């Protein structure tokens, strides 16, 4: 797990955080009760770009990330993760099981490769697999891997999962800018939310930095739905 200097506690948020700049409403709701500090250019263009990255649509419904679970679910869970994070590997089957049992949860997986070059390479290749409709298979293959990831093992695991690795590599070259931009957005969001490490979650409009058990997922899902139902 990577630790950052600004540690925030898990909490349900409602008040606007302090700071010298205007914070998008969705980020303000998520990060209230914590001081959010994001270094930005004062230029209007830079401010607008940051607002877009931290908008509800960008956080919950980034068009470059294929949603898993129930794509039409009434509640979205966003996970920031790394394929080499042991805690991410541990939580993955629990999240999948909770989503399956619930039946109305939409899952958005945001690669946050903080464990080095192999994590970044793995994330990019899995994202490229979406162009052959193999994103879910590719993700499951790597998040469930029991061995250390290397360039060769990543290719082997993906091939065994039914991914055409040569096509994925070609698609990565073709779409490298879109994939690089997506990873940059993910990183900007994770840092703006003050997440200290992977895994970290957004559940509805609740910010959850750290591990959740099956019971924990169910509890925060219920709380998020209750919050959404309030006028």
In a domain, 18, yes or no: no
Question: Is residue 208 included in any domain, yes or no?
Answer: yes
Residue 96 belongs to some domain of the structure: yes
Query: How do residues 19-37 score in pLDDT, each as one tens digit?
Result: 333 434 444 444 432 322 2
Model pLDDT, residue 50: 53
Q: What is the pTM of this model?
A: 0.80
> What percentage of the chain exceeds 90 in pLDDT?
74
Residue-range definition of the domain harbouring residue 70 = 25-229
Residue 153 lies in a domain: yes
Both tokens of 119, joined, read 């994590």
Cα–Cα distance for residue pair 91/68, rounded to 1 Å: 15
pLDDT in tens, 44-90: 334 444 558 889 899 999 999 999 999 999 999 999 999 999 999 99
Count of domains for the chain:
1
- 1 within a domain of the structure (yes/no): no
In a domain, 130, yes or no: yes
Which CATH number is 68's domain given?
A: 3.40.30.10
Rounded-to-integer distance, Cα 33 and Cα 16, Å: 8
Q: Residue 180 domain-assigned?
A: yes
What are the DSSP calls for the chain, one per residue? Answer: ----SS----B---SPPP-SS---HHHHHHHTTS-------SSHHHHHHHHHHTSHHHHH--TTS--EE-TT-SEEEEEEE-TT-HHHHHHHHHHHHHHHHHS-EEEEEEE---S-HHHHHHHHHHHHGGGGT-HHHHHHHHHT--S---HHHHHHHHHHTT--HHHHHHHHHHTHHHHHHHHHHHHHHHHHTT--SSSEEEETTEEEES---HHHHHHHHHHHHHHHH--
Q: Which residue has the higher pLDDT, 226 or 38?
A: 226
Residue 99 C-alpha from the chain's centroid: 16
The chain-wide mean pLDDT, for the chain, equals 83
In a domain, 11, yes or no: no
pLDDT, tens digit (0-9, with 9 covering 90-100), for 131-175: 999 999 999 999 999 999 999 999 999 999 999 999 999 999 999
């Amino acid at each position: 797990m990577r630790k950052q200097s600004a540690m925030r506690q898990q909490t349900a948020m409602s008040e606007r955080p302090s700071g010298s700049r205007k914070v998008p409403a969705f980020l303000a709701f998520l990060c209230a009760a914590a001081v959010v500090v994001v270094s930005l250019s004062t230029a209007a263009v830079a401010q607008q770009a940051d607002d877009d990255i931290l908008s509800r649509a960008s956080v919950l419904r980034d068009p470059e990330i294929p949603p898993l679970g129930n794509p039409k679910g009434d509640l979205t869970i966003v996970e920031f993760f790394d394929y080499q994070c042991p805690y991410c590997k541990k939580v993955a089957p629990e999240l999948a099981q909770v989503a399956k049992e619930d039946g109305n949860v939409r899952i958005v997986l945001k690669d946050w490769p903080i464990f080095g070059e192999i994590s970044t390479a793995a994330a990019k290749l899995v994202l490229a697999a979406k162009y052959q409709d193999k994103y879910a298979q590719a993700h499951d293959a790597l998040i469930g891997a029991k061995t250390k990831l290397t360039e060769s093992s990543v290719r082997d695991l993906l091939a065994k999962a039914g991914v055409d690795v040569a096509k994925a590599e070609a698609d990565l070259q073709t779409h490298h800018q879109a994939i690089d931009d997506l990873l940059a957005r993910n990183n900007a969001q994770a840092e703006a939310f003050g997440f200290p490490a992977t895994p970290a979650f957004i559940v509805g409009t609740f910010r959850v930095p750290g591990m959740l058990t099956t019971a924990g997922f169910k509890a925060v899902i219920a709380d998020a739905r209750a919050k959404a139902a309030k006028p």
